[in-house]
């Protein structure tokens, strides 16, 4: 049956080669049989600019994606909170199209809202402040004007700062806020919602203004790879083998 696959939060990094290998196998097998593959953010552990392609690992990921896209399956990429600096140059190199967060698309007769998910975490006030500062175009230009080594050091400091900050936050703060979910569903006329980011894979049902809306949360790829498969009869979460 015609179907589309959704993944997010792979956090690909050379330090975890097994997950990258699993991703390349996924591209050659399950993903190659789909109508399209959507990557809804955090493909990379972090992305410091499209000029970081002399890096052997990044070049390998680009080549894998390029081979996949060249074989004819549309590849759609959304920014996550780790890789929002992926630009048109990167997308072109991969044969992918960048899509905005949020994006509303019809899949086999079901209107579906696609998001990374971080904007729904409105209780995490520190994160939302951090987000607006790093999504500022002037701050991004200033960052990108620095040499790659300096950028890499800064990204590693931000990653360490984030891990430390998360230790101090209650779990509930780092989940989506129900009112933010309801608002996103309302403003898009009550679609199905698919997002990642929280690393809490599940299917939820939200009743908003009397409309039942499904919300699928994608899994991260820390332990193993997985994807969401949607066709005309609905969506199913699938774990990849070993
Ligand atoms: O990513 P994750 O899962 O650890 O946590 C996220 C939120 N954290 C982030 C930060 C990213 O991990 C780091 C991104 C690196 C990007 C590289 C490019 C940099 C470009 C800069 C352009 C201007 O997104 C985390 C959330 C969590 O999800 C759950 O939703 O809680 O939010 C935070 O931890 C933010 C903190 O609360 C506040 C910011 C701490 C920053 C510490 C700075 C340390 C010193 C920096 C020196 C440069
Ligand atoms: Mn994320």
pLDDT digits (tens, 9 = 90+) for 187-205: 999 999 999 999 999 999 9
How many other CB atoms are found less than 10 A from the CB of residue 64?
19
State the pLDDT at residue 41: 98
pLDDT above 70: percentage of residues in the chain: 100
The mean pLDDT of 30-52, rounded to a whole number, is 98
Q: Which residues pair with 205 in a beta bridge?
A: 214
What mean pLDDT, rounded, does the chain reach?
98
Query: 222 C-alpha vs ligand 2 centroid, how far in Å?
Result: 12
Ligand 1 within 6 A of CB of 150: no
Q: How many Å apart are CA 232 and CA 107, to the nearest integer? A: 7
> Would you state the pLDDT for residue 241?
87
What separation in Å is there between the alpha carbon of 194 and the centre of ligand 1? 23
Q: Nearest 5°: phi and psi at 115?
A: -145, 160
Is the pTM higher than 0.75? yes
- Whether 166 lines ligand 1, by a CB cut-off of 6 Å, is yes
State residue 79's pLDDT score.
98
CA distance linking residue 116 with residue 105, whole number of Å: 15
Round to whole Å and give the CA distance between 154 and 62.
23
Helix-helix angle 137-144:148-167, to 10 degrees: 130
Is 140's C-beta closer than 6 angstroms to any atom of ligand 1? Answer: yes
In the reported structure, the alpha carbon of residue 161 is separated from the centroid of ligand 1 by a whole-number distance in angstroms of: 7
| Tens digits of residue pLDDT in 168-184 | 999 999 999 999 999 99
* Ion ligand 2: residues, Cβ under 5 Å: 42, 80-81, 197
pLDDT, one tens digit per residue, over 111-147 is: 999 999 999 999 999 999 999 999 999 999 999 999 9
């Amino acid at each position: 049956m015609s179907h589309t696959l959704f993944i997010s939060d792979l956090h690909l990094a050379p330090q975890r080669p097994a997950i990258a290998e699993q991703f390349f196998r996924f591209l050659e097998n399950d993903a190659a049989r789909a109508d399209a593959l959507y990557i809804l953010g955090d493909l990379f552990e972090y992305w410091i600019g499209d000029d970081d392609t002399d890096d052997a690992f990044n070049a390998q990921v680009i080549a894998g994606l390029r081979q996949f896209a060249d074989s004819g399956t549309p590849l759609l990429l959304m920014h996550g909170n780790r890789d929002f600096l992926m630009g048109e140059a990167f997308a072109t190199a991969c044969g992918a199209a960048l899509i905005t967060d949020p994006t509303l698309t019809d899949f086999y007769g079901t209107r579906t809202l696609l998001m990374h998910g971080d904007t729904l975490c409105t209780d995490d006030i520190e994160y939302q402040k951090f987000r607006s500062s790093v999504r500022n175009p002037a701050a991004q230009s200033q960052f990108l004007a620095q040499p790659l080594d300096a950028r890499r050091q800064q990204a590693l400091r931000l990653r360490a700062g984030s891990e430390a900050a998360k230790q101090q936050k209650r779990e509930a703060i780092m989940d989506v806020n129900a009112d933010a979910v309801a608002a996103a569903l309302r403003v898009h006329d009550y679609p199905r919602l698919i997002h990642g980011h929280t690393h809490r894979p599940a299917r939820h049902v939200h009743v908003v203004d009397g409309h039942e809306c499904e919300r699928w949360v994608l899994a991260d790829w820390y332990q193993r790879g997985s994807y969401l498969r949607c066709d005309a009869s609905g969506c199913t979460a699938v774990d990849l083998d070993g």
